[in-house]
Chain A
Amino acid sequence: MNKLVCAAAALALTVTVAEAATKVGMITTLSGGGAGLGIDVRDGFMLAIKQSGRDDIEVVIEDDQQKPDIAVQLSDKMIQSEKVDVLTGIIWSNLAMAVVPAATGQGVFYLSPNAGPSQLAGAGCSPLYFNVAWQNDNLHEAAGAWANQTGYQNSFILAPNYPAGKDALTGYKRMYEGGLAGELYTELGQTDYAAEIAQIRASGADSVFFFLPGGMGISFLKQYADSGVDLPVIGPAFSFDQGILQAVGAAALGVVNTSQWSKDIDNETNKAFVETFQAEYGRLPSLYASQGFDTANLLISALDKAEPADKEAFQAALEEADFSSTRGDFEFGPNHHPIQDIYAREVIQEGDVFTNKIIGVALEDHADAYAADCKM
């Protein structure tokens, strides 16, 4: 169904902008359990394109079904037969690793609205690759820093057993200065956390850090709230984004989470973004939507200055990051990853909607730990 709608949308675009100067390929997840993220990125991206009023940008949208092999097929098709100038859209790090090096190797620009695996920030960086969201470790590092600021001494930390889960615990430990009451890797896609919660109860920890994206986080938080363990919980924004919070409900109230974006960041761009997104789609935007929106605006700002065909000029135009971000200050580091503030947010209830409120800055003008390994 989604595929149909997208195909129709893409078709409509093709028809109305027959003489599109720039072709953008978006490969993102629009079906399956992770579809919420891709849909938010797509909607944020398309909102910015629409607001720009430009009819010389054609966006081709395809669903990768969260499968690396499909993503590779789609990128081959987009590069070779659609002849796109710029690729974007991938949500998951394993898919990004399968697509990005090959795409940049063929001379196509890639703007990442989400995934930021450490390999692409360090030794595997590319002049044509830009990450507009974060390097994977960033939000976890901010959680570690916030734990220090709050005075936690003995955290119990857990994440799923896959690359991004390991990055998460590494990121937390890079900043966190206290001791560890326990460290656990759970199965990817696990839905029952009773055994882990029993271990947390028995561990004598003073706080819990977890990275469990998507449905895993919903399950964990509901079970945790019901278990009678009342240690403070901290985590990255992925388990507390706007799409998920409504499903967690009151169990998430008061939880602190770290994010580079929040709907209450006080600047004109962000206010307008939250308002227009809500008007357009009838729901509050998530951090993924803000990342899609910023990615599109970055692209538009660079197109104002140069053509993608002129690689050096277009790369320089992207490096300037001359657009007004929903995050306020935004600039790229030497490895084309953001240098930005990361906030601590608390889950609150506004009327009958659960959402986040900024309670402080966890890390200011934070860059990633891999920039030194990047030789462009």
Chain B
Amino acid sequence: MSAVLVIEQVLNGLQAGVMLFLMAAGLTLIFGVMGLINLAHGSLYMVGAFAAAAVSAATGSFLLGLVSALAAAALAGAVVEMLVIRRLYASDHLDQVLATFALILIFSEGTRWLYGSFPLYLDIPAWLSGPTRLPGGILYPTYRLALIAVGLVVALGLWVLIERTRLGIRIRAGENDREMIAALGVDISRLYTLIFALGAALAGLAGALVGAIQSVQVGMGEPVLILAFVVIVIGGIGSIRGAFVGALLVGLTDTLGGIFLPELFKFFTDPATAQSVGASLASMSIYILMSLVLIWRPTGLFGARA
């Protein structure tokens, strides 16, 4: 196993991690601040991807596609919050799960009704396509480097927003004691809509960015949603920093586990067994990671509340 392959896989893990972070950040904000389990977060990811595909097919501009993905997902998020989610804050988690699961079905079949059952085309813009040669002779896709950069910039932006702005103060306050900030005169329902739209926009951005290298199709959000839940459980519910660290941990474990576990088992058993045992363990690796973190810290790495 060469150093080049290892570095390439670390980059792959990082890239998967930062994209997961975009999903998990919104999810953890919504869960942390509003106490709401939003299963439909994956649908907002899909809305972003479809909006990007439709707009960039119509205009030929990938950047316009990205902007429209942000806008469409934020809009969908805000509308859903005002029409459905708002009625669920006082209900228990089971009602929330049922209602947001219904939203998944509505979004999926609605999208199919609008765009049909066949996957849509969304491609990397020409100026980001092809590989870049990194120091050490590593060939790595330019677009994936761009994804890492975008993910890090968004993470930094979110940190500034939460820690350094007035809105951030309100969000943190809402997390700690929602009755108190409502009593202090903050318009809590507008704050909730805003947070929901922000989370939705991040999911939509992730969907559009990832859609360009994967397939834009109905149901694309659900597998990512499961991973995003793992991330926020590891990171600690409600914590943006936790979501960031958790996402990178999950991305790296998932990618590197698939490569190194089979190699590791080759020291003990014959190659065929090592391959199959290693591969099955690798697909479990993030859940094993999650259990270990929960044993060590039941509230997650940066979680404040149980």
Contact of A189 with B218 in the complex, beta carbons under 8 Å:
no
Binary flags per residue of B228-256, CB closer than 8 Å to A gives 1, else 0: 00000000000000000000000000010
Q: Are A39 and B124 CB-contacts (below 8 A) given A195-B12, A202-B2?
A: no
Q: State A227–B223 Cα separation when bound (angstroms).
A: 24
Which residue numbers of B lie inside 8 Å of A, CB to CB? Answer: 2, 4-5, 8-9, 12, 15-16, 108-109, 112-113, 117-121, 123-124, 129-131, 139, 141, 143-144, 210, 212-220, 223, 255, 258-259, 275-276, 279, 283
Choose the segment among A10-18, A109-117, A139-147, A239-247 that binds chain B (4+ C-beta atoms closer than 8 Å): A239-247
| Complex interface: chain A residues within 8 A of B213 (CB) | 192, 219, 222-223, 226
How far is the CB of B208 from the nearest CB of chain A, in Å? 14
Tell me the complex Cα distance, A216–B15, Å.
19
A246 contacts B121, CB within 8 Å? yes
Q: Is the CB of A194 within 8 A of B144?
A: yes
Q: Which A residues, 191 to 224, have Cβ-Cβ distances below 8 Å to chain B?
A: 191-192, 194-195, 198-199, 201-202, 214-216, 218-219, 222-223
A354 to B, closest residue via Cβ: B121
- Residues of the B chain whose Cβ atoms lie less than 8 Å from the Cβ of A195: 9, 12, 255, 258-259
A interface vs B, CB < 8 Å? Answer: 1-2, 31-33, 35-36, 39, 161, 183, 185, 187, 189, 191-192, 194-195, 198-199, 201-202, 214-216, 218-219, 222-223, 226-228, 243-244, 246-251
Assess A226 versus B130: contact at CB under 8 Å? Given A36-B117, A218-B119. Answer: yes
Contact between B5 and A198, CB atoms less than 8 A apart: yes
Residues on the B chain within 8 Å of A2, using CB: 109, 112
Within 8 Å CB of A185, what residues of B? 276, 279
23 inter-chain pairs at a CB distance below 8 angstroms, sorted by A residue, are: A2-B112, A31-B112, A33-B220, A185-B279, A191-B210, A191-B214, A191-B215, A192-B16, A192-B214, A194-B12, A195-B12, A198-B9, A198-B12, A202-B4, A215-B119, A215-B214, A218-B214, A222-B123, A226-B129, A227-B131, A228-B130, A228-B139, A247-B217
Select which of A33, A39, A251 is within 8 A of B218 by beta carbon. Answer: A33
**In whole angstroms, what is the CA distance A36 to B117 when docked?**
5
Check if B141 sits within 8 Å of A33, measured CB to CB.
no
B215 is contacted by which of A31, A187, A215 (Cβ under 8 Å)? A215
Complex Cα distance A156/B279, Å? 17
Dominant secondary structure at the A interface: helix
Q: How far is the CA of A35 from the CA of B214 in the complex (A)?
A: 18
Given A218-B214, A226-B129, A228-B139, A35:B12 Cβ within 8 A: no
Which residues on B sit within 8 Å (CB–CB) of A198?
5, 8-9, 12
Interchain CA distance A222-B283 in the complex, whole Å: 23
A247 touches B5 (CB 8 A): no
Q: Are B283 and A187 in contact (CB under 8 A)?
A: yes
Of all chain B residues, which has the CB nearest A242? Answer: B118
Chain A nearest CB from B210 CB (Å) reads 8
Measured between beta carbons, the chain A residues less than 8 angstroms from B210 are 191
A1, A194, A246: the one within 8 Å of B255 (CB)? A194
- Closest A residue to B8 by CB, please name it: A198
A199/B130 in contact, CB under 8 A: no
List chain B residues, Cβ under 8 A from A214: 215, 217
What's the minimum C-beta distance from A326 to chain B, rounded to whole angstroms?
Answer: 21
